[in-house]
Amino acid sequence: MVKSSSNLLAADSSTLPVKVVIVNKSDVYVAGYSNNDKYNFLVTYWKNGKPVYLTQGKQQGKATGIAVVGNDVYVSGEVYNEKYSVATYWKNGVAVNLTDGHSKASASGIVVIGKDVYVSGNEAGKDGSYIAMYWKNGVPVRLSEGSSYEPTSAIAVSNGNVYVSGFEQDMKNLRLSKAKYWKNGKAVLLTAADKSATASGIAVVGNDVYVAGQQLGKFSYMVEYWKNGKEIGLSDVEGTGATSRAIAVMGSDVYVTGAKKGDGSKLVPVYWKNGKEIILSAETLKLNGYAEAITISGGKVYIAGEEHNGYSDVAKYWENGRAVYLGDGKHPSAAYAIAVVRK
């Protein structure tokens, strides 16, 4: 999330990242995880490329969402105890546990409206079920009954309405799932009865609800999004394979991030703008990468994600397609969320 007159410059490479000089006109926040020399997964966010560690030592976890309001930085994610993951958010580095740690739980996104903090996520139920839910100021709101596997992927709040994207997995047929979102706790199905799909992100503009996802074709998944329930395909070539991660809308422009299969069946980070595919790192077609999150600020497109550099996964973000490395290239790191604050 940094904007600069000289911009952030870093050459994409399959080798170790280069150093960059940053001149800020905006603050860029990216959330995910990083590793120390002991290979612990530390909950991390970067502000203008500088890491801030939200866990230390043996406490491991990852961040999945970030929101910045004034001088306050909110990060959603999870931390691991000896047995389970605990859904958590941090405000200015102070952890707020959303679950008690007696069962597996996770947080998938965060939105802050005034003094209210909304976090989407899940908690494990019985017999392998996963309960879709969100928390408002720490108070849980169940979206599903716990009779099926229903993970959430993102949250949006607009005009007092709470929207959460996700999907419902058929417990007897793992190839069959129904993309859906919940509005104020009421489920809205996006998938036809004869199709299998999942939802990965959500954006709400006025009365319009946009949900990104992927639908299973005859041979592979294809990326698409739904606008008010109407399906719009983005990767229509059967057999190629693609996956989505997030969606953003600015004016009449619709952006969806994700990955597509490149050479050697490896995944290449891409995004689609109004249906046009834009590859972020063409020279790394033989190495896996994902475009995980997106925001638009000051007419620029900021995308967070990670790529494998031949040594490990490296957290990075792209500003109008130019890569800025966050990880050191020697220890694994990843980026799952991004926010930009204009000065």
Other C-beta atoms closer than 10 Å to the C-beta of 109 total 27
What residues form DSSP beta bridges with 314? 307
State the CATH number of the domain containing residue 192: 2.130.10.150
Which residue, among 185, 79, 173, has the nearest Cα to 136 in the 3D structure?
185
As a whole number, the mean pLDDT across the chain is 88
| 256 occurs within a structural domain | yes
Residue 49 lies inside a defined structural domain of this protein: yes
Instruction: Note down the domain range covering 207.
Output: 26-342
pLDDT score for 242: 86
Sole residue written with tokens 């046009």: 276
List phi, psi (to 5°) of 114. Answer: 60, -120
8-32 pLDDT, tens digit each: 222 233 333 444 444 458 999 999 9
In a domain, 108, yes or no: yes
Domain count, the chain: 1
Query: Would 245 be classed as within a structural domain?
Result: yes
Q: Does any domain span residue 67?
A: yes
Model confidence, pTM = 0.90
Which token pair is 1? 């999330």
Strand partners, 220: none
CA distance 111 to 74: 9
- Does a structural domain hold residue 6? no
Per-residue pLDDT of 284-301, as tens digits, reads: 556 789 999 999 999 999
Are 202 and 209 a contacting pair, CB within 8 Å?
yes
Q: Are 165 and 211 in contact (CB under 8 A)?
A: yes
Reported as a single tens digit per residue, the pLDDT across 218-263 is 777 889 999 999 999 887 655 567 899 999 999 999 999 999 887 6
pLDDT of residue 286: 61
**Within a domain: residue 169?**
yes
